[in-house]
Structure 1
Amino acid sequence: MASDVAKFAAPLSQGFGYGIIIGLGFAFALVMIFITWALKRYQHEVQTSEMFSTAGRSVKSGLVAAAVVSSWTWAATLLQSSAVAYKYGISGPFFYASGACVQIILFATLAIELKRRAPNAHTFLEAIRARYGTAVHVVFIVFCLMTNILVTAMLLTGGSAVMTSLTGVHTAAACFLLPIGVVLYTLFGGIKATFITDYMHTVVIIVVIFIFAFSAYATNDTLGSPGRVYDALVAASKLHPVEGNAQGSYLTMRSKEGGIFWVINLVGNFGTVFLDNGYYNKAIAAHPVHAFPGYVIGGLCWFAIPWLCASTMGISALALEGSQRMSSEDVTAGLVLPFAAVNLLGYSGAVCTTLMIFMAVTSAFSSQLIAVSSILTYDIYQAYINPSAKGKRLVWISHMSCILFAIVMAGFATGLYYAGIGMGYLYLLMGVIISSAVFPGAMTLVWKGQNWIAASSSPVLGLAMSLIAWLVTAKKESGVLTVDSTGANYPMLAGNVTALLSPVIFSPILTYVFGPQNYDYESMRAIRKVDDTDVAAAAHIDIELIPGEATMTNAEKEEEEQRKLNRAALYSRTLTIGMVICFLLLWPIPMYGTSYVFSRKFFTGWVIVGIIWLFVTTFGVVVFPLYEGRKSIIRTTRSMVLDAMGRKSRALDGQKGYDESPSGVATPTEKEEVVDLVDLVNLGHLGDPWELVGNTHSKLEPEEAAPVQAVPLVEDEYRVLYQ
C-alpha cells in the first residue's frame, strides 16, 4: 500500500545542488591550477606526457594508499553498501567490504610484478602488447574500456540519483555537470592532480562518516547509543523479518541472500580492479619500493569505510523507518544513505551526504579519466596511429581523450537513467561483462607459459558463457527477460561466477593444446619512456630536472630497486594470501555457519571495532601521507614565502635556479650538509654560489664559476656541473 512506503522529499534547494556541483568543481580546478604552477616553479614538475600519466614514477606509499582508498570509494561504495545493510542487516556491510577489499590486497602482487616486468610501461596494456602482439592487445583494450565505461556509468548514475533526491537537481543535468570540474583539474594536473585531490576527497569522506557514526551511536535523540540501535533492530526483525536470515534477524551473519550478494560482489570486483587501468596507473606512478605497501595499506584502510558507513547508515535507516518501508526502487537507486542522513541530522545530514557523494563521484571519476586517456594515448594513438609521436602531441591527445570520454559518458549515463537502469543493476552486472578477462590478464604477468591463443580466446569464450548463464537463468527463474528479472540475485550469481571461473579452465587447456609460450619477459622490459624533450624545451626547462624524465641511468640503483622488488614480490604473495584467508574464511565463515545472532554486547563491540578501524584508516591515509611528504611540503612552502618576500631568485621555474656571480678562484670548502633533490636545484635564494656533489652541497668562497646545469645521479641526488 502507498501508506506503507516511506516518502523521500528533497530537503535542499536546487540552487544548493547546482552550487555544489559547479562551484566545488571549479574550486578544485582552481586549486589544482595553483598546485600545478607551484610544483612547476618550485619542484620542476612540468606536465610532460610522462608526468601527466605516471607522475614521474615517484609517488610514495602513503599517497598511493590515499589514492587507492579514494579511487575505490565510489558512490556505490557508500550507497550500495548501505542498501545491502538495509536489505540483509548487519551481514550486508561486512559482505560488501570483505568482498571488495581482497581484490585491492591481491592486486598488490600484480602491482609489484608490473614494476618488475615492465618498469617503463605507461599502461598494463602496453605489457600485453609487448608479450602477445596486436590480436591480444585489441581484445584487452575492449575489455579494459568496457570496465571504465561500466564504472563511470555507475558513478554518474548513482551520484546523479543522490543529487536529485537531496536537492531536486534534474538527473540528466547532474550527469552532464558532475564531470566538468573533474575534467578541468585533471587536464591541468594529470595523474598528480588525481593523487592530490583524491587525498582531499578522502579526508572529507572520512570526516563525514565519523559525523554519521557518532550521531547514530552517541548523540542522536532517537538512537544515540549502540544499545538503542540494537533494540530498534530487534523490533524491526519482528516487524518485517528477513527471509533467509537466521531467525529472520537483522543481527546475524547467517543470511542466504546476503551470501549470494557476497559471491556476486567478490567476483564482480575482481574485474573492476584487475581490468581497470586506473589501478595500474597508480602502481606505475608509485616509486618502485612504495607500490606494494601502498596497495596493502590502501586495501586495509578502505575496508573500514563501507563497513562502518553501511553499519551506521543502512542500520540507522532500518532503526528509524518504523512501519513505512523504503520502496525497492529507492533502495536500488541508492537512496538508503540519504534517507538515514536526513532522519539522523536533518538539513545538516543532507548537506553532509551531498558533499560526501560529490567527493566520491569526482575522485573516482578523475581516476577513470586518466585510465581511459592513457589507453587512448599510448595503446591506440601511439601504438597504431603515430608511433613516433613526441611528448607535446601525446599530452594533447591525453587532454582530448579526457574531454571526449567525459562527454560520451555523460550522454550514456543519461540514457541509462531514461531506460530505468540504476546504479544497483550496473553494480551486479559488471562482473558478467568483464570478469572473464581477469585470469588471462593476471597470468600475463605471473605465468610465463600462457600463449597468445589462450590469452585472446579465453576472455571472449568466458564472456559468451557468462551471458548465456546469466540470461538462461533469468529466463528459467522468471519466465521473461526484463530489467527486474535479469537483475535478480540468482541470474547475476550464475553470470558472475561463470565469467570469472570459465577462463581458469579455458586458458590452461588452450595453452597446452597449442603449446606453452615459455616467455622471458624481455620484450616487456624493452618498453621505453616517451621523448618529452619538446615539452621541456617549450617550458625552458632542462629535461634532466623534471622528475621521472632523467635519461642518465645508474646501474647500481636499478639493481638495488630490482632486489627490493624481488623481496616485495615474495612478501606480497605470502601476506596477501594470509589476509585474504582472514577476510574470506576465518572471520565470516564461522559466524555464518553457526547462525549466531548478535547479543547486545557483541553488537556494541562490533560497532566499536568499526569506529577504531576508521581511526586507523585516518592515520593511514590522512596523517601518514603528510608525514611522508613533510620535507617537500615544508620546502615548497618556505620557497613560496621567500619568493613572496623577494629573497629568492626570480629564475626558479627551470631556466636557471641559481644566482650568477663573476668567475674567480675557488677556495677550500667551508662546510658540508645533507640536502635533498629540490634544495639542490633551488639554491638561488641562499645568495651564494654552491658546489653540489653527491648528496651534499659545499659553500664556496668567495667568487666561483656559476653552475650551468644540475644532473641527476641517483634518487634525491644531483651534481651541479661548472664551466
Structure 2
Amino acid sequence: MGEFKPPLPQGAGYAIVLGLGAVFAGMMVLTTYLLKRYQKEIITAEEFSTAGRSVKTGLVAAAVVSSWIWCSTLLTSSTKEYADGIFGGYAYAAGACFQIIAFAILAIKTKQMAPNAHTYLELVRTRYGRIGHGCYLFYAIATNILVTSMLLTSGSAVFSDLTGMNTIASCFLLPVGVVVYTLFGGIKATFLTDYLHTCVIIVIVLIFAFKVYATSDVLGSPGKVYDLVREAAKRHPVDGNYQGEYMTMTSKSAGILLIINLIGNFGTVFLDNGYWNKAISASPAASLKAYAIGGLAWFAVPSLISLTMGLACIAVETSPNFPTYPDPLTSFQANSGLVLPAAAITILGKGGAVASLLMIFMAVTSAMSAELIAVSSVFTYDIYREYIDPRASGKKLIYTSHFACIFFGLAMSGFSVGLYYGGISMGYIYEMMGIIISSAVLPVVLTLCSKDMNLIAAVVSPILGTGLAIMSWLVCTKSLYKELTVDTTFMDYPMLTGNLVALFSPAIFIPILTYVFKPQNFDWERFKDISRVDETEELVQADPDIKLCDADISDEEQPGETNSFISDNRKK
C-alpha cells in the first residue's frame, strides 16, 4: 500500500490556520470599528443575531452558498466521483441542492408570520409550549454539533495529511480565528467574510478546472482525461456501474448516495438555525431570491470540482508524481478526503497542496462561523432568555451570545478529537446525520404550514421516527453483515434504510396522532407576540447623546430601522 507523505512542512499548516485566522479576525475587528466610528452602528444583541433584518439579496445568497460549502462539498463530491464515476459527483451535487431552494418557502413564511423572531425554536415554543420547545431544542443543537464536528474532523484530517500538522492541534486552532471575528461582528461578520471566502473558493476551483482540462502538461484536455479514465475502468472496473465504467450515469452506489443525500440534507438545512438566521436577517423582498439564487449557485461548485478533481485523480493514478505511486489510493485514503489533494499535488505540485489547504480552510471557517451564530442565537434566546432570565437586558444577552460562541468552539474541538480517536470519518458523519435528525423535518415544516398538527403529533412523531430509524439502520446492518462495526454500519443499504425511515415515518405518525388527539386549529397571529429585545440600556451606554423615545424600541418598528433612526436623531 502506497503511503501518502505530506508534501508540505508543518509550518505551512500552522501559517494558514493561525496566520489567515488572524488576518480575518483583524479585518473584522477593523470593519466593526469603522462602522461604529463612521456609520454610527452599534452591535446590540439584535444587531449581533439579525444584522438589522435588512440584508440584501446578494449578501444573503453569498452567505447561503458559503455556509453550504462544507469540506464534504469539495472532498466527498470528489471522492464519490473517484469511486463511482461521473454519476457520483452529480449525485452529491443534485442531492444537496434542492433543500436550499425549498427552504425559501419557510424563509418567506417566517418573515411574514413572525417578523420579530430570532430563531425557529421561538416559533415552536409559541405554538407548542415548553414541552415542544425542549424536543426541538435537542434536534437543533444535535444538528449544529454534527455539522461542526464534521467540519473540524475533515479539516483537521486534511491539514494533517498535507502538512504533517498535529491533528489535535488543528482541531483546537481552526476555530480560534472564527470565534474571534464572530464575537466582534456577529452575523454581519459572517455575511462579509462569507462573501470573501466564496470568492476565494470559486477562483481556486476555476484554476483547477482550467489546469486539468486546458493547460496542464500532465493532462491538459478533456479528450486525454476521457481516454485515461476509460483505461482505468479496464484496470479496476467499478462494481455496480454499467460495464464497470466510470463514464456512465448508471451506478447503483451513486444512486443510493443520491437518495441518502436528498433525505439527510433536509435535516441539515431545515433544522440548522443558521439558515433561519439568514432568512430572519434578510429584508422581506430578498428571502425568496437569495435562497433560490444561492441553491442554484452552490450546485455549480461540487459539480465542477468533482468532475475536475475526481476524474483527474483517476486519470493520473499511474503517474510517477502521484503521491501513492505505484499504488492507487486505498478506500480508506479516499474516504479520508485525499482524492482532491492527491490530484492537485500530481498536477500542480506543492502549489496544488497549498491551494487545497486554502480551499479547506475557507470552507471550514465560513461554515463554522454560521454554526457559531446559530448556536449562540439558540442559547441566548431559547435557553437563557426563556429559562434563566426572561427579563434580561440586551447587554446581558450579547454577553451570553459571546459566551456561547466561545464555549461551543471549545466543546466542538474536544468532541472532534474524540471522533478522531474513535476512527469516525467525515463521510460516516455525513451519511449518518439524516438518521439522527431527519425525523424532525416534516414536523418543523408543518409548524409553519399547517394549523392542525397538535402538540402530541409534534413531539411524539420525531422521537418515534428517530428511534425507528436507528433501529432499522442497525437491524439492517446486522442482518446483512452479521456484525455491528463502524465499517458495516457505513455500508450503503443500512445507511439508506435508516435515512428513509427517519424522513418518512413522521408522515405516518403525524396524521394518526393529529386525528386521535384532535387538530389544534392554531391562530397564526400568535407568532406576532414574539418580541424583540429592549436595548435601551446598551444603546444609551454606547452613546449618551442618543435621545430615545418609545417608538425606537417598539415591536411595531420596521425591521432594520433602529440604528438608522438613532443616527438621524443625533443629527437633529
- Global fold match (TM > 0.5): yes
Pair 430,545 (structure 1): closer, same or farther in 2 beyond 3 Å: farther
Matches within 5 A, 1:101-500: 101-322=97-318, 324-500=327-503
**Counterpart of 2:171 in structure 1: which amino acid?**
C
CA distance in 1, matches of 2:348, 2:455: 57
Q: Give the superposition deviation at 1:26.
A: 1.0
Counterpart pick for 2:516 among 506, 509, 513: 513
Alignment-derived partner of residue 89 in structure 1: 85
Amino acid at match of 1:237: A
2:46 & 2:547 partners in 1: Cα distance? 13
Pair 1:550–1:103, CA change in 2 (3 A): farther
Cα offset for 1:324?
Answer: 2.3
Cα shift readout 1:259-315 (whole Å, capped 9, x = no counterpart): 001111111101000000000000001011111111000000000000001111111
Question: Do the aligned partners of 1:49 and 1:391 also contact (CA within 8 Å) in 2?
Answer: yes
Residue 205 (structure 1) shift: 0.2
Q: Give me the whole-angstrom Cα distance separating, in 2, the residues matched to 1:553 and 1:301.
A: 35
Report the Cα distance in structure 1 between the residues aligned to 2:547 and 2:237, rounded to whole angstroms.
67
Q: More relative contact order in 1 or in 2 (CA 8 Å, sep 6+)?
A: 2
Aligned residues: 562
Q: Aligned-pair distance for 1:22?
A: 0.7
Cα distance change of structure 1 residues 478 and 530 upon mapping to structure 2, 3 Å threshold? same
Deviation at 1:236?
A: 1.0
The CA distance in 1 between the partners of 2:547 and 2:55, in whole Å, is 18
Amino acid at match of 2:453: Q
CA offset digits 1:398-451 (Å, max 9, x no partner): 000001011110000001001111101101100000000000011101111111
Structure 2: unaligned runs, 5 residues or longer: 319-325
Match of 1:551 among 550, 553, 564: 553
Equivalent-residue separation in structure 2 for 1:543 and 1:170 (angstroms): 51
- 1:442, 1:44 → 2: CA distance? 39
Structure-2 change in CA distance of 1:309 and 1:326 (3 Å): same
Structure 1 counterpart of 2:342, which letter? F
Question: Which stretch has the larger CA shift, 503-512 or 133-142?
Answer: 503-512
Determine which structure has the larger helix proportion and give its number: 2
Following superposition, the deviation at residue 537 of structure 1 comes to 1.2
Cα distance in 1, alignment partners of residues 548 and 348 from structure 2: 51
Q: Report the Cα offset of residue 44 of structure 1.
A: 2.4
Q: Secondary structure at the match of 1:410?
A: helix
Q: Kindly tell me: are residues 532 and 481 of structure 1, through their superposed partners in 2, closer, same or farther at Cα, counting changes over 3 Å? A: same
- 1:537 paired to 2:540: yes
Q: CA RMSD in A?
A: 1.9
Offset of residue 42 of structure 1? 2.1
Distance apart, 1:541 and its partner CA: 6.2
The residue correspondences of 1:700-711 to structure 2 (distance < 5 A) are: 709=569
Preserved contact between residue 82 and residue 93 of structure 1 (Cα < 8 Å): yes
* C-alpha distance in structure 2 between counterparts of 1:681 and 1:406, whole Å: 35
Match of 1:29 in 2: 25
The 5 Å alignment of 1:654-665 reads none
Which ranges of structure 1 fall in alignment gaps of 5 or more residues? 562-653, 655-676, 683-708, 711-719
> What per-residue deviation string (whole Å, max 9, x for no partner) do you get for residues 137-174 of structure 1?
00000011000000001000000010001111011111
The alpha-carbon distance between structure 1 residues 343 and 542, as it changes in their structure 2 partners (threshold 3 A), is farther
* Aligned residue number for residue 702 of structure 1: none
Give 1:45 deviation, angstroms. Answer: 2.0
Matched to 2:225, the amino acid is V
Query: Contact 1:533–1:543 at 8 Å: present in 2 too?
Result: no
Per the alignment, residue 606 of structure 1 pairs with: none
Contact 1:544/1:551, CA 8 A, preserved across alignment: no
1:42-81 mapped onto 2 (5 Å cutoff): 42-81=38-77
Q: Is the 8 A contact 2:103 2:269 kept in 1?
A: yes
1:384: Cα distance to partner? 0.8
Cα distance change of structure 1 residues 404 and 552 upon mapping to structure 2, 3 Å threshold: closer
**Aligned-pair CA distance for 1:7:** 3.0
Distance in 1 of aligned mates of 2:452 and 2:346: 57
Please give the alpha-carbon distance, in whole angstroms, between the structure 2 residues aligned to 1:125 and 1:309. Answer: 36
Distance 1:342 1:518 in 2: 60
Amino acid at match of 2:366: S
Distance 1:552 1:265 in 2: 43
For 1:417 and 1:503, how far apart are their aligned partners in 2? 33
| 1:337 Cα deviation after fit | 0.8
Residues 543 and 359 (structure 1), Cα distance of their counterparts in 2 relative to 1, 3 Å cut? farther
User: 2:457–2:514: 8 Å Cα contact kept in structure 1?
Assistant: yes
- Aligned counterparts of 2:330 and 2:16: Cα–Cα separation in 1: 27
Q: TM-score, normalised by structure 2?
A: 0.96
Report Cα offsets for 1:54-76 as digits up to 9, x if no partner: 00101001000000000000011
User: For the structure 1 residues 426 and 543, does the alpha-carbon distance in structure 2 shift closer, same or farther, using more than 3 Å as the test?
Assistant: farther
**AA matched with 1:487:** F
Preserved CA contact (<8 Å) 1:110 1:442: yes
Which SS does the other structure have where 1:335 is aligned? helix
- Deviation track 1:554-592 (CA, whole Å, cap 9, x = no partner) reads 79x79xx9xxxxxxxxxxxxxxxxxxxxxxxxxxxxxxx
CA change 1:262–1:537 in 2 (3 A) is: same
The aligned counterpart of 1:14 is: 10
Larger gyration radius, structure 1 or structure 2: 1
Q: Cα deviations across residues 14-66 of structure 1 (Å, max 9, x unaligned)?
A: 01100110111111100000011111122222110000000010100100000
User: What CA distance in whole angstroms lies between the structure 1 residues aligned with 2:306 and 2:327?
Assistant: 20
TM-score by length of 1: 0.76
Determine the C-alpha separation between the residues in 2 that align with 1:280 and 1:553. Answer: 20
Aligned AA (1:428):
E
